[in-house]
Structure 1
Amino acid sequence: MSIVIVGGSGMLARATEWIKDNFDDDIWLLSRNKDRYSSELLNFHNVKFVEYDYETDNKIDYEYIKDVKIMVNWVHSNGYINHQSFIESEMTIDDNCTPVYIHIVGSNRHDDSAFIKWLQNKGFKVLIVQLGFRLDHQGGKRWLTHDEISDGVIQAIQLGEDVLVSE
């Protein structure tokens, strides 16, 4: 089985490491920037890197991603069409379970109901990680840290439900 992580460096780096440490499945890192991942992660026995930009039409020439059981994705609305095409043409989902699609969205959400419906029609259980804000020491709003965002993704995977990362 496979786990696919789109954009797993940066804000999702800790969630990516947690997935590596907690799952024995093949882990596919789909990203534009291979150099943003540690060499330890890239050289781990079950990790595969594929250069991927959800804003363009992508194909994997050398291998097909088989039996996806979890996808973690921070794909913005301008890439939904290309991302759908990639899912359709480059991977299969695991028929032995209900695959989970972790859909990370910011506080200024685009109407992604058609995209979510498409994912559900493909057989995915869609879990939304909604990003909000935290309060700083003076009581004002601040951006979430990378670890707080990763914690929301990890919580969604562990609990199997939507997560709001906010106060």
Structure 2
Amino acid sequence: MTPAFDKGLVVGGTGMLAQASEWIAAQCQNLTLVARHPDALAAKLGATPLQLDWADPDAADRIAALPSDFDLVLTWVHDAAAGLVRPCEDRLKPGGRSIRVHGSLSADLQTRAARDPNPRPDIARQVVILGWHPEPGGGKRWLSNDEISAGVIAAIREPVFEALTIGGASG
């Protein structure tokens, strides 16, 4: 299934999630791209850039100033910025979808619960957990950017997944 969205908000989608951001842009009428350096990718995608560093004291206020009518919010933020997830999800209209990307430690339910507040009852949240791939000889490697974006896109395409782990995960 390929969903269509009127308005999308992607937070932290310019690096490893750039391909997912490109795919989302193709499904959206309007895309807002929030990152420390969003301008180049936003220009390529025809998206609205919002330059934001999570360490800025006014980061939550700047997110809160965005309209509250997004259908889709994709967030990839580090633990230090986890407090910005709720303001991002508050930009969703009722019935909207939040796709929350986590590292492999969030495979543990207690860790994930500590990193994410409960979502609003009128939105749907899906979690994508980034794992790793086993290597011959017992080693493992982190996922490639292509694999990460493919997993995020799979979660968006299949809203039945509450949590989707890409590769193996610890926890």
Task: Give the TM-score normalised by the residue count of structure 1.
Answer: 0.78
Aligned mates of 1:137, 1:38 — CA distance in 2: 39
Instruction: Give 1:103-122 correspondences, 5 Å limit.
Output: 103-109=100-106, 111-113=111-113, 116-121=116-121
Contact 2:155–2:164, Cα closer than 8 Å, also in 1: yes
- CA apart distance, 1:82: 3.9
Contact 2:9–2:73, Cα closer than 8 Å, also in 1: yes
- CA apart distance, 1:86: 5.6
Contact 1:77–1:112, Cα closer than 8 Å, also in 2: no
Aligned mates of 1:53, 1:105 — CA distance in 2: 19
Q: Where does structure 1 differ by over 6 angstroms across 4 or more consecutive aligned residues?
A: none
Contact 2:76–2:102, Cα closer than 8 Å, also in 1: yes
The residue that corresponds to 1:67 in the other structure is 69
Structure 1: 5+ residue runs without aligned partners? none
The residue that corresponds to 2:3 in the other structure is none
Aligned mates of 2:55, 2:16 — CA distance in 1: 19
CA deviation string 1:7-31 (max 9, x = no partner): 111100000001111222x211000
The residue that corresponds to 1:100 in the other structure is 97
- How many positions carry a matched residue from both structures? 155
Does residue 138 of structure 2 align to residue 163 of structure 1? Answer: no
- CA apart distance, 1:100: 1.0
The two structures, once aligned, show a CA RMSD in angstroms of 2.6
- CA apart distance, 1:2: 1.9
The residue that corresponds to 1:145 in the other structure is 144
Aligned mates of 1:163, 1:147 — CA distance in 2: 16
- CA apart distance, 1:4: 0.7
Aligned mates of 2:158, 2:136 — CA distance in 1: 30
- CA apart distance, 1:38: 6.4
Contact 2:20–2:149, Cα closer than 8 Å, also in 1: yes
- CA apart distance, 1:125: 1.1
- CA apart distance, 1:131: 1.0
Aligned mates of 1:134, 1:126 — CA distance in 2: 25
The residue that corresponds to 2:83 in the other structure is 81
Overall identity of the aligned pairs, in %: 28
CA deviation string 1:123-149 (max 9, x = no partner): 321101011111346663111000100
Aligned mates of 2:35, 2:68 — CA distance in 1: 18
Residue 133 of structure 2 aligns with an amino acid whose one-letter code is R
CA deviation string 1:56-87 (max 9, x = no partner): 332349x6323111111112222122443465
Secondary structure of the structure 2 residue equivalent to 1:27: strand
Residue 126 of structure 1 aligns with an amino acid whose one-letter code is R
The residue that corresponds to 2:13 in the other structure is 8
Q: Structure 1 residues 163 and 74 mapped into 2: Cα distance closer, same or farther (>3 Å)?
A: same
Q: Structure 1 residues 104 and 64 mapped into 2: Cα distance closer, same or farther (>3 Å)?
A: closer
Q: Structure 1 residues 166 and 75 mapped into 2: Cα distance closer, same or farther (>3 Å)?
A: same
Secondary structure of the structure 2 residue equivalent to 1:40: helix
Does residue 38 of structure 2 align to residue 34 of structure 1? Answer: yes
